[in-house]
């Protein structure tokens, strides 16, 4: 048996989604994975396997870990914003000689 649930998290970087896929485990155990997406691109996959755990507790635990991962990713992005590349470094404004236009 496999079931899938979609969740949404509104963060500073936009709307994150994460899909939790519950997979068959031994009776009484919990096993699932979560794909975390931002702007339609997968950012991370988390896997959780817990012995003697109900589905409800396992899903709640994995949801909390997804939110914690998203919040950490947003904090990391604030600390290390993407570097701006100058027009010259991108090759704009260069003539065939390699010297910038004046």
Rounded to a whole number of angstroms, the distance between the first and last alpha carbons of the chain is 67
**To 10 degrees, the CA torsion angle through 18, 73, 55, 2?**
40
pTM of the model: 0.74
pLDDT at 24: 86
Say if CB 9 and CB 63 are below 8 A apart.
no
Instruction: Please tell me the distance from the alpha carbon of residue 25 to that of residue 82, in angstroms, as a whole number.
Output: 41
CA angle (19 as vertex; 39, 62 as ends), nearest 5: 120
Which CATH code for domain 3-90?
Answer: 3.30.1300
Dump pLDDT digits (tens) for 29-63: 999 999 999 999 999 999 999 999 999 999 999 99
pLDDT at 102: 45
Give the residue extent of every domain in the chain.
Answer: 3-90
């Amino acid at each position: 048996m496999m079931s899938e649930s979609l969740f949404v998290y509104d963060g500073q970087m936009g709307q994150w989604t994460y899909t939790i896929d519950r997979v068959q485990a031994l009776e009484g155990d919990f096993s699932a994975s979560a794909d975390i997406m931002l702007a339609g691109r997968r950012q991370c996959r988390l896997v959780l396997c817990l012995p003697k755990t109900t589905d409800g507790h396992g899903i709640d635990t994995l949801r909390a870990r997804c939110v914690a991962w998203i919040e950490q990713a947003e904090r990391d992005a604030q600390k290390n914003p993407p570097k701006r590349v100058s027009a010259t470094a991108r090759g704009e404004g260069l003539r065939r000689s390699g010297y910038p236009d004046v």
